[in-house]
């Protein structure tokens, strides 16, 4: 209770700080910029007050507020879409091969996205005699390239959407973005049930009968491990992973479907996004062949 200049009594509702808190504020003032805050967090990590994962996620939150949809979207040419003008039998292998849970549905042109098809809804195709894909479509959400990721994440959560179509200033489709893409900026790569999780499963042999033995290789496999498993001697002087090796070889980010030879090995990109390759199919060649890049 304190006296007001007029003589009235009033309650002081302002929380009282302890003597220790006030002395701490004088000695270590609050950070005045983001860089100062990050320095404090880094110092907390150095003193084992927070672990590396926590620090990385906090830095990711800051990064998300600086990025827009155009920075992390899957570009239009790399979008896996289904064309409603084609029979289901033509694009069903794409659905099975990519194992995505959602696909933009187009009407003959990538600029004509008419909805989003959930892969699980295709189960009705095998159970119902009269099946119409268009009846299964969910509404497509369109956003501008400039939309900030922190705002987009809030919209995703509020509207329970998982995918948005990114459009340019002229209304044309520029790419797509998913809630997983945004979350990965904060927590790092999110692996699903189709990802290779254990280090010992980085290189999985695949028996293909007359085609011989091939391997499914995670792109983050260390070159040293790859060399030991495959009996090759690729240099790790410039890059550490097999994904980095193939990116250097192509001179660009590998794209899904790329096929190329390095020494006596043939590589095929099975999974990739706009930023990096994820999974490769590797086949040992009986002899050196002419390099082919799709």
Percent residues over pLDDT 70 in the chain: 78
Instruction: Answer whether 0.75 is exceeded by the pTM.
Output: no
Q: Vertex 189, ends 185 and 194: CA angle to 5°?
A: 140
DSSP designation for 172: -
Kindly tell me the number of DSSP H helices and DSSP E strands found in the chain: 11, 14
Q: How much is the pLDDT for 58?
A: 79
165-174 pLDDT tens trace = 999 988 899 9
CATH architecture of structural domain 71-187: Roll (3.10)
Q: How much is the pLDDT for 63?
A: 75
Backbone angles phi, psi at 293, to 5 degrees: -125, 125
199-284 has the same fold as 71-187 = no
Q: How many CB atoms lie within 10 A of CB 264?
A: 15
Could you tell me the pLDDT band of residue 255, with boundaries at 50, 70 and 90? confident
What is the rounded distance in angstroms from the CA atom of residue 277 to the CA atom of residue 221? 11
Q: Vertex 161, ends 156 and 167: CA angle to 5°?
A: 80
Q: How much is the pLDDT for 236?
A: 87
Half-sphere exposure for 4 (CA within 13 Å, toward CB): 7
Which has more pLDDT, 285 or 29? 285
Indicate the angle between helix axes 149-159 and 179-187, nearest 10 degrees: 120
Domains of the chain, by residue range, sit at 18-67, 71-187, 199-284
Could you tell me the pLDDT band of residue 105, with boundaries at 50, 70 and 90? very high
Say whether pLDDT at 254 is over 60: yes
Residue range 199-284 in CATH 3.30.465.10:
yes
């Amino acid at each position: 209770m304190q006296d007001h200049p007029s003589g009235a009594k009033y309650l002081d509702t302002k929380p009282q700080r302890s003597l220790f808190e006030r002395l701490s504020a004088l000695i270590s003032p609050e950070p005045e910029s983001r860089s100062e805050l990050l320095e404090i967090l880094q110092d907390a990590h150095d003193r084992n007050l927070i672990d590396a994962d926590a620090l990385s996620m906090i830095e990711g939150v800051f990064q998300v507020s600086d990025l827009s949809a155009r920075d992390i979207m899957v570009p239009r040419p790399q979008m896996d879409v289904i064309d409603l003008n084609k029979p289901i039998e033509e694009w069903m292998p794409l659905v099975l091969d990519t194992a995505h849970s959602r696909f933009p549905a187009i009407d003959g042109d990538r600029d004509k996205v008419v909805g989003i098809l959930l892969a699980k809804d295709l189960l009705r195709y095998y159970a119902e005699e009269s099946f119409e894909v268009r009846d299964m479509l969910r509404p497509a959400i369109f956003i501008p390239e400039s939309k900030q990721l922190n705002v987009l994440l809030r919209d995703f959560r509020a509207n329970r959407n998982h995918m948005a179509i990114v459009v340019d200033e002229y209304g044309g489709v520029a790419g797509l973005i998913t809630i997983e893409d945004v979350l990965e900026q904060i927590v790092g790569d999110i692996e699903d049930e189709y990802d290779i999780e254990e280090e010992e499963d980085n290189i999985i042999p695949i028996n293909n009968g007359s085609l011989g033995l091939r391997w499914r290789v995670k792109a983050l496999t260390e070159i040293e491990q790859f060399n030991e498993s495959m009996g090759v001697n690729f240099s790790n002087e410039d890059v550490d992973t097999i994904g980095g090796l193939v990116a250097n070889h192509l001179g660009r980010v590998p794209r899904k479907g790329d096929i190329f030879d390095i020494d006596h090995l043939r590589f095929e990109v099975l999974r990739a996004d706009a930023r990096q390759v994820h999974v490769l199919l590797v086949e040992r060649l009986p002899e050196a062949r002419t390099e082919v890049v799709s």
